[in-house]
Amino acid sequence: MAALLEHESQIFLDLFHQDGLVICARGLGVDRLLLRFLRLYCEPASLVLVLNTSPAEEEYFIDQLRSDGVVHLPRRVTNEITNNTRYEFYTQGGVIFATSRILVVDFLTDRIPANLITGILVYKAHRIIESCQEAFILRLYRQKNKQGFIKAFTDNAVAFNTGFCHVERVMRNLFVKKLYLWPRFHVAVNSFLEKHKPEVVEIHVSMTPAMLAIQTSILDILNACLRELKRYNPALEVEDLSLENAIGKAFDKTIRHYLDPLWHQLGAKTKSLVQDLKILRTLLLYLTQYDCVTFLNLLESLKASEKAFGENSGWLFLDSSTSMFVNARARVYRIADEKLNQKGKVSEKGDVKKENELKRELVLESNPKWEALREVLKEIENENKNSEDLGGPGQVLICASDDRACAQLREYIIAGAEGFLTRLYNKTFGKDEKAGEVWIKDKKATKSKGNARPDTAPQAKKAKLAASSKQNKHKKQQDRTIIQMIGKTEEEKREELEMEDNKELSSSQESSIEESIPEDFHMNLPSDCYYGIFKNPLTIIHPLQGCSDPYALTRVLHEVEPRYVVLYDAELTFVRQLEIYKASRPGKPLRVYFLVYGGSTEEQRYLTALRKEKEAFEKLIRERAGMVIPEEREGRDETNLDLIRDAKPATVSTDTRKAGGQEQKSVQQTIIVDMREFRSELPSLIHRRGIDIEPVTLEVGDYILTPDICVERKSISDLIGSLNNGRLYAQCTSMSRYYKRPILLIEFDPNKPFSLIPRGSLHQEISSNDVTSKLTLLTLHFPKLRMLWCPSPHATAELFEELKQNHPQPDAETAVAVTADSEILPESDKYNPGPQDFLLKMPGINAKNCRALMNHVKSIAELVTLSKDELSKILGNAANATQLFDFIHLTYGEAISKGKSKT
């Protein structure tokens, strides 16, 4: 492990001596700091828990400690470790990674020796809100252990910018008094990094006139959509919804934050505008990120899908939109006959399509950044030829935004701009001879893609698939292309003789790749996302985002130790990471080439991210100056009110009628909770109200409030799924059989609107497929079942407390013994469930008269002997009695003839 830098040592010492929350600037090494604490406590004498880490992060930390020679490595608590060995596992000491669900249950059941815990380290601390599981763990820990430490880390200062006193609330949930702020402009950080600055070459690439025109068009349309959105929803007149923010990455989250609470009240127009903003942001990204063919393909697929589904919200009819289409097509091809009449080409395209398609002349405008990248690589190559003073040629790392961009760059470097774009054009729009035909086919194929494509999550997957399939398909061709290219430019590029076909090393491709890699060359890199180009000096392209391992790029940076880093796309975190990397290797040269489109949204996005982080830190500094922190905040004595488990307000008056107002002895309330329910925040809120929780594995119900009350909790999505697959029916059957008061609790998401029927979803006719119809049927089938509708988990916890008042406490052993097919029945239930179910299926018998019949008749054999009059007397209804009597006594033939005579 590299030694800590000056400012890192200072942060480490501050936090070591006094617990607190550290907020670092992005990329300044909050993971290095946590790693140093992990190393300190990796010994059997201490027991330290780490919260809020993902499996990939845990893997990275363990690998780093292993390579550093740590003997007692951190361990993970998983479901594989049985309950009875869990206590022993914890007492072995050291650092332990565990999921919050496991830790909550272990704290509640005392499987973890709380008094022996040395402390807790909390990663990504900005996520610790009051009702989350991690806050519940910290509260349980502080109630049982007053001595141990709590140290929290985060590098997301912008997250504290939302809400009122956000940082103060997080610190309250973490039980820490100190706030350590380390922005990039901190004196210690700035002065230290200034001493070890890497050599930076900023290359401002000019966009082509067509790209600039397209960018202006998209920004105009974005602005129009934002104005329209605010016109329809005056409540959205907020600074956050500005054009500058609209081009940033977090804009989708921002707009959902404002619209989610009233989503069910919004009209179709507003929802359509939100979708349009998403599409336009994707177009902006594609413009600077990828080539002209990919951009045009997305545009054409959008137009095709809009026509197919009739979901056009109007932006396609704006003048800016026409200009965008004209320029996007002009970047790819021009039509010989109609050079002047370009607008006519757009409007008449449908009529004269085939004639025009056949007369296309391909333009295939190259990406300006590609040329800049080629010049940078030439410069590096020339320097490497005279690099004896620096100890031989330097390695090169090229960083692009995602997998798709990396795959395109690799193909460009190998095949050249013209070869790559021609192949991509032929693949996307078909060869010129069959252009019209393929164009139409392609449109049909992209109809289904059009809507999903702008969605950012599937887009990354698609990009990856596209990249890998592209590589597979042209594998054999590429060897030939490389040799041809070397033949042409032998004087310039001697190293290219040893170029590798070193594609993305995914497991599916490994075997085929091995054939093309020569035996003497093994790229054993700790990441599976890179794209290799040259062997000597090693030159690789790596994506900034989209890797399964969040530390893939960090691993590659330290493994390859490049002398030259080319930032094809800028990303704030990695830029800072490079500063730290240079500072940790004093004396070793590092040159960073920064490629950016001058005056583009890409540049603006980067500058906005910088400004937002700076403003967030300035706000935090102001907040810290005026923050009032009570002495008992850390909860090391009994005076911290957050640790008191009681929901009664302080102003509640005593009832003097009960023994003159003397304090009554109250029984400790208990609720039995199913293990699987600890994924939700409800158990935390119940515990906060002073009710004990007993976690067990229940087969029937989720919460047992009293010996008679059983609750099945459903979120909205879970409710719809359970109604559709019939699981809820089975659950209600079991609850009704074993408990006197079965309850179905339907809990809404507190961040979403609380509305039973959204506006516009009331239909003229009632359908059996509606959720409301299915719930109605459920209440008819189970008369004992009660339904509770709760707007949030807080309301549910309060409701549970009220339902438990003046009732006996449930017994865990009895609750566990109740299974869907168990023979154990409540004492009050004196009937056998098998014949009872059989009886309910018979015509004329329903839930209301079933009990009366069972009270009078001992068995089904006796029921058969009763006359129609006797049945009528028991059931209290002649029609029901006739139905039942006929069902028992009529033969099949008589029943058929009786049915015919009725018709």
pLDDT digit string, tens, across residues 130-141: 768 888 899 899
Which of 66-75, 343-352, 389-398, 643-652 has the lowest average pLDDT? 343-352
Backbone dihedral angles phi then psi of residue 462, each to the nearest 5 degrees = -60, -40
Confidence label for 62 from pLDDT (cuts 50, 70 and 90): very high
> Cα–Cα distance between 60 and 860 in angstroms, integer?
68
Nearest Cα residue to 781 out of 793, 789, 790, 773: 773
Q: Residues of the chain with pLDDT > 70: what percent?
A: 79
pLDDT bracket for residue 388 (50, 70, 90):
confident
Residue 403 near residue 569, CB atoms below 8 Å: no
Cβ-proximal residues to 632 (8 Å cutoff; 6+ apart), any chain: 639, 640
Least confident of 95-99, 117-121, 233-237: 233-237
CA distance 161 to 885: 74
- For residue 469, what pLDDT band results from cuts at 50, 70 and 90? very low
Show Cβ contacts of residue 429 under 8 Å, excluding neighbours closer than 6 positions: 293, 297, 435, 438, 439, 442
What are the phi and psi torsion angles at 847 (to 5°)? -60, -25
Rounded Cα distance between 678 and 304, Å, is 46
- Write out the H or E segment, with its range, that includes residue 47: strand 47-51
The residue among 377, 400, 445, 374 whose CA lies nearest residue 290 is: 400
Indicate the pLDDT class of residue 307, thresholds 50, 70 and 90.
low
Alpha-carbon span 137 to 103, nearest angstrom: 7
Alpha-carbon span 642 to 536, nearest angstrom: 62
- Report the alpha-carbon angle 781-803-691, nearest 5: 130
Higher per-residue confidence, 837 vs 558: 558
Partner residues linked to 709 by β-bridges? 741
Phi-psi region of 755 (alpha: psi -120 to 50; beta: other; left: phi over 0): beta
Q: What is the pLDDT of residue 179?
A: 93
Query: Is the pLDDT confidence value at 663 over 70?
Result: no
Phi, psi of 154 (to 5 degrees): -160, 155
Share of the chain above pLDDT 90, in %: 19
pLDDT above 80: residue 651:
no
- Flag whether pLDDT at 871 surpasses 90: no
User: What does the alpha-carbon distance between residue 283 and residue 862 come to, in Å, rounded to a whole number?
Assistant: 77
CA–CA dist 175, 142 (Å, integer): 8
**410 close to 543: Cβ distance less than 8 angstroms:** no
Side-by-side strand order, sheet with 564-567? 199-205, 591-597, 564-567, 396-400, 539-543, 531-534
Q: What is the pLDDT of residues 734-750, one digit of tens each?
A: 888 888 899 999 988 77
Secondary structure letter of residue 355 according to DSSP: H
Of 222-231, 424-433, 770-779, the least confident: 424-433
**458 band by pLDDT with thresholds 50, 70 and 90:** very low
Instruction: List the structure tokens of 166.
Output: 């956000």
b/e for 237-262, b at 16 or more Cβ within 10 A? eeeebeeebbbbeebeebbeeebeee
Cβ distance 797 to 680 under 8 Å? no
Instruction: Tell me which long-range contacts 586-590 makes (C-beta under 8 A, separation of at least 24).
Output: 586/196, 588/561, 588/563, 589/199, 589/390, 589/394, 589/563, 590/198, 590/199, 590/562, 590/563, 590/564, 590/565
Do 695 and 673 touch, CB atoms closer than 8 A? yes
**Is residue 233 very low, low, confident or very high in pLDDT (cuts 50, 70, 90)?**
confident
Helix (H) or strand (E) holding 181: strand 178-182
Q: Say yes or no to pLDDT of 595 above 60.
A: yes
Q: Confidence band (pLDDT; 50, 70, 90) for 627?
A: confident
- C-alpha 735/C-alpha 857 separation (Å) is 25
β-bridge pairing 20-24 and 178-182? parallel
Angle, vertex CA 718, rays to CA 713 and CA 724, nearest 5: 120
In the structure, what pLDDT confidence band is assigned to residue 333 with cuts at 50, 70 and 90? confident
Check: CB of residue 500 under 8 Å from CB of residue 521: yes
Give me the residues paired with residue 20 across strands. Answer: 178
pLDDT tens, residue by residue, 520-547: 234 666 666 777 777 777 888 888 888 8
SS3 473: helix
Does 467 or 879 have the greater pLDDT score?
879
DSSP per-residue codes, 598-657: TTSHHHHHHHHHHHHHHHHHHHHHHHHHT----GGGG--STT-GGG----S-TTPPP-TT
What mean pLDDT is predicted for residues 845-863? Answer: 81
Q: What is the C-alpha separation between 64 and 666, in angstroms, rounded? A: 53
- Helical segments of 842-903, H only: 847-856, 860-865, 868-875, 878-889, 892-902
Q: Which residue has the tokens 């009110």?
A: 641
Q: If 0-12 CB within 10 Å is exposed, 13-18 middle and 19+ buried, where does residue 476 land?
A: exposed
Does the pLDDT value for residue 495 go beyond 70?
A: no
Distances (CA, A) of 312 to 307, 315, 343, 719: 8, 7, 21, 33
Lowest mean pLDDT among 169-178, 274-283, 457-466, 821-830: 457-466
Q: Determine the pLDDT at residue 655.
A: 55
Question: Which amino acid belongs to residue 652?
Answer: V
Residue 273 vs residue 390, higher pLDDT: 273
- Give the residue carrying structure tokens 């004209």: 326
Mean per-residue pLDDT over the chain, rounded: 78
Distances in Å between the alpha carbon of 272 and those of 43, 232, 316, 321? 57, 12, 13, 17
| pLDDT for res 874 | 85
The mean pLDDT of 693-702, rounded to a whole number, is 90
- Of 95, 150, 143, 102, the residue nearest 125 (C-alpha): 150
| Element spanning 151, H or E | strand 149-154
pLDDT band at residue 24 using 50, 70 and 90 as cut-offs: very high
At 709-735, the pLDDT tens digits run 999 999 888 888 888 888 898 889 888
pLDDT number for residue 761: 59
Contact 357, 433 (CB under 8 A): no
Highest-scoring range by mean pLDDT, 22-26, 105-109, 233-237, 842-846: 22-26
> What are the start-end ranges of the H helices in 109-186?
133-144, 166-174
CA angle 118, 124, 129 (to 5 degrees): 90
Q: What is the per-residue pLDDT across 429-445, written as a single tens digit (0 to 9) for each?
A: 875 444 444 434 444 44
Above 60 in pLDDT, residue 463?
A: no
| Mean predicted confidence (pLDDT) in 884-888 | 85
Give the Cα separation of 168 and 451 in Å (integer). Answer: 42
* Cα Rg of the chain (Å, integer): 34
Greater confidence, 104 or 440? 104
Q: Which two tokens stand for residue 213?
A: 């025109």
The vertex-150 CA angle with 144 and 155, nearest 5°, equals 145
502 pLDDT higher than 60: no
Can you list the pairs that 471-479 forms with residues at least 24 positions away whose Cβ atoms lie under 8 Å? 471/407, 471/503, 471/504, 471/509, 472/509, 472/512, 474/423, 475/501, 475/503, 475/512, 475/516, 478/414, 478/415, 479/516
Q: Hey, how many other C-beta atoms are within 10 angstroms of the C-beta on 36?
A: 19
SS3 113: coil
Residue 259: per-residue pLDDT: 79
Q: What does the pLDDT look like over 169-204, one tens digit per residue?
A: 899 889 999 999 999 999 989 988 888 888 899 999
**Residue 41 structure tokens:** 């406590």
User: 754: pLDDT confidence band, cut at 50, 70 and 90?
Assistant: low
Q: What angle do CA 517, 518, 521 make, to 5 degrees?
A: 90
Residue 567: the pLDDT is: 93
Q: What is the arithmetic mean of pLDDT over 602-609? A: 89
